[in-house]
Amino acid sequence: MKFIGKTTLDHQINPVQNFIEGLNRHGHKNIEVYNLQQFQEGRVKGKRYDVAFCWGFRNFHELSKIAKNTIVIENSYLNNVQSKKGKVWLSHGWNGLNGRADFCNKNSPNDRWNKHFNDGRLLDYSDGDYILIPLQIKNDASIYGRGFQYQTIVNEIRKFTDLPIKIKQHPTADDQWGRLLGKNVSYVNRFMPIQDAIKGAKVVVTINSNAGVDAVLAGKPVVALDKGSMVYDIAEHDFAKLLVPNWPDRTQWCNNIAYAQWRPEEVINGEAWEHLKQKLCTNS
């Protein structure tokens, strides 16, 4: 089996190297790694690979042309914490980003959730008195080119409810979308912790932001407009139930999402690859 990895920026080197070490633990030695300059020089021209791996979805498009399957390494959905050495947890999924990736986690057992994440973060459902819309970065790979407009979303919500709509801009991107207008529409401090913004909401409306994950954990129903959302399977997809939202059982969702991210030591010791290689077995 032939493997190829790609790195573009410095912070991508360690996650890719960790993945290589995990492959080595499984006896895979036929691994090539190239940086952006080497790709631009045509070092991989005419080559074909069984598996590619990279940081970031933008690299996926290039690798998918020369590999049968590609693992995209990205930020995690649970415990997305930065340490001095980088991200403590990272997601690893096949052939896509976020909800469009295959994490080999359908109907997962509860062992991983109980071991790493069952620490009281999953709150009971609670009601609220406003609709929260957390804005995403406009050119982020998860929504770029998908045609969503937040003003349209606000206008559609107003067809179903007069509840206040609160907008939370992304903390790293101020006013990218222009000022959103409408009856009883206001903005909260963009530096407010997302958990605080979610706390008083009745429903959280998102395209595919990780704020949807935060909302589900906080006991708030979500309207997720794009299947790239990590909560798409337990979310509503239109605004007809804004006033009487469903409160779905979250047990299986918790079990599944726990298998979507890995700690560095789990990648290095081969545990992550042991799980992810199921994809190749089902394809064969």
pLDDT in tens, 265-278: 999 999 999 999 99
Measured CA to CA, the distance from residue 177 to residue 180 in angstroms comes to 8
pLDDT at 83: 65
pLDDT at 94: 98
Categorise residue 66: left if φ over 0, alpha if ψ from -120 to 50, beta otherwise: alpha
Measured CA to CA, the distance from residue 241 to residue 254 in angstroms comes to 23
Helix (H, G, I), strand (E, B) or coil at 213: helix
Measured CA to CA, the distance from residue 77 to residue 215 in angstroms comes to 12
Measured CA to CA, the distance from residue 38 to residue 146 in angstroms comes to 31
**Cβ atoms within 10 Å, residue 124:** 7
Instruction: Answer whether 0.85 is exceeded by the pTM.
Output: yes
pLDDT tens digits, one per residue of 15-42? 999 999 999 999 998 899 998 899 889 9
What are the backbone angles phi and psi of residue 150, rounded to the nearest 5°?
-70, -30
pLDDT at 242: 94
pLDDT tens digits, one per residue of 197-225? 999 999 999 999 999 999 999 999 999 99
Q: Are 113 and 121 in contact (CB under 8 A)?
A: no
pLDDT at 88: 86
Average pLDDT over residues 170-194: 90
* Domain residue ranges in the chain: 3-115+258-283, 131-249
The identity of residue 36, as a single letter, is L
| CA proximity to 208, closest of 235, 169, 177 | 235
Q: What angle do CA 229, 230, 233 make, to 5 degrees?
A: 90
Measured CA to CA, the distance from residue 173 to residue 161 in angstroms comes to 28
Please check whether the domain covering 131-249 is classified as CATH 3.40.50.2000: yes
The torsion defined by the Cα of 22, 26, 32 and 36, in degrees rounded to 10, comes to: -20
